[in-house]
Chains A and B, each alone.
Chain A
């Protein structure tokens, strides 16, 4: 298995631009998670999906952030408009279909976002 795939790996954009991050989970994993990691705040859960349905989006910072999972093999995280404080590494992770939290989460390599 190729593992969790994320694209792009690096993104540099200017303030105000729209940014779209993409994720392909491991086949057969029903849970998908989006995290953000910064030096100041560590690893934070933004949102997670179960069977393509958003379950908990309480970690999404504000309305500028949105996430979708149109099918079992693809998810996007969109920031519009982007701001310099959004600069971070964004990880996508997936896990096997048992109760979330009890299973190993497999992380993608992350997207390093820089907003100038």
Chain B
């Protein structure tokens, strides 16, 4: 089983739609969680951290369910510029400390 699993998509949605991505992780000791965004042929960039209580940043809402080891990202009122790959990222304890483990990503295509 992969440490971090995501639906690869692609999710094809019209502008203005609401879309949700899910992610599961296997290590119950994981402590922190993130969503990164990666545009085509570019580097990943942090979109938002995910907190236990859930958090919102404008049109983006992230949720964490530790019991189910499940993370979600909700995007409201999708824009063409939201088209990208969204990477679910989990901090995993290792022998020498922690490391970030990246999911394979979910592709979002927003169309006019």
Contacts and interface: CB of A to CB of B under 8 A. Distances in A.
Interface of A: 42-43, 45, 48, 55-56, 91, 99-102, 104-105, 107-110
A42 B99 CA distance: 16
Contacts, number: 49
Interface of B: 31-32, 34, 42-46, 87, 91-92, 94-105
10 contacts: A42-B103, A42-B105, A45-B100, A101-B92, A102-B91, A102-B98, A104-B34, A107-B45, A109-B43, A110-B43
B101 to A, nearest CB: 8
B49 to A, nearest CB: 8
The 5 A-B residue pairs with the shortest CB-CB distance in the complex, in nearest-first order: A101-B98, A101-B91, A107-B43, A42-B104, A43-B102
A49 to B, nearest CB: 12
A114 to B, nearest CB: 14
A36 B58 CA distance: 32
A109 B39 CA distance: 11
B46 to A, nearest CB: 5
